Every structure is written in structure tokens, then in C-alpha cells.
Homo-oligomer: A and B are copies of this chain.
């Protein structure tokens, strides 16, 4: 598996736009990719805090995701809503 937990922070006032972009990227990825084990976005406990939980079957599936038309289309929109860089925690299988 290729698994990451990613913490995102929305710019103040951009929470709704970020949620909308996350929902669309989650829906498009789950509808169009075959190598996803789990790919969902969530609201965290603090205001403006969001988390992506991503687990792909393997590195090829992760690469297919990050090079997909839907990802490349929505990513700039999502990035524009972020306050700072995402905090990515890469995990490895037991």
C-alpha cells in the first residue's frame, strides 16, 4: 500500500471553497481510479483544519492518481485555498 495522512489548513474565509474542492477531488478519484483502498477528506477538530486519508494499492496507483486529469484539474483550485503547505505523514505497511 501507499498510504498517507495529510493535514491541511484553509485560509480564513476559504473553508467552504476548500471543502467543495476536496469533495470534488474525492468523488472524481473514487469514481475513476481502480487502485484506491481508501481516499476521503474530513474536517478536523480545529477551525479551518482538514485531513485527507489516502491509501492506494501500490505506488503505481498513487502515481495514476497524481497524474490523473481530475487531480490536475482540481489541485490548483485546492492549493489556492490553503494556508501554508500541507503536512504529509507517510505511513508504511506493518
Interface residues of A (CB under 8 A from B): 1, 3, 5, 19, 22-23, 26, 37-38, 40-45, 50-51, 53, 55, 89-94
Do the beta carbons of B55 and A91 come within 8 Å of each other?
no
Do the beta carbons of B89 and A51 come within 8 Å of each other?
yes
* Interface class of chain A by DSSP: strand
Q: Would you list 26 pairs from A and B whose C-beta atoms are within 8 A, ordered by A residue?
A: A1-B40, A3-B42, A3-B53, A5-B5, A5-B51, A5-B53, A22-B94, A38-B38, A38-B53, A38-B55, A40-B55, A41-B94, A42-B91, A42-B92, A42-B93, A42-B94, A43-B93, A43-B94, A44-B89, A45-B89, A45-B90, A50-B94, A51-B91, A53-B53, A53-B55, A53-B91
What residues of B have a CB within 8 angstroms of the CB of A93 in the complex?
A: 42-43
A40-B55, A43-B92, A44-B91 known, 5 other contacts, Cβ within 8 Å: A23-B94, A38-B55, A42-B93, A44-B89, A51-B89
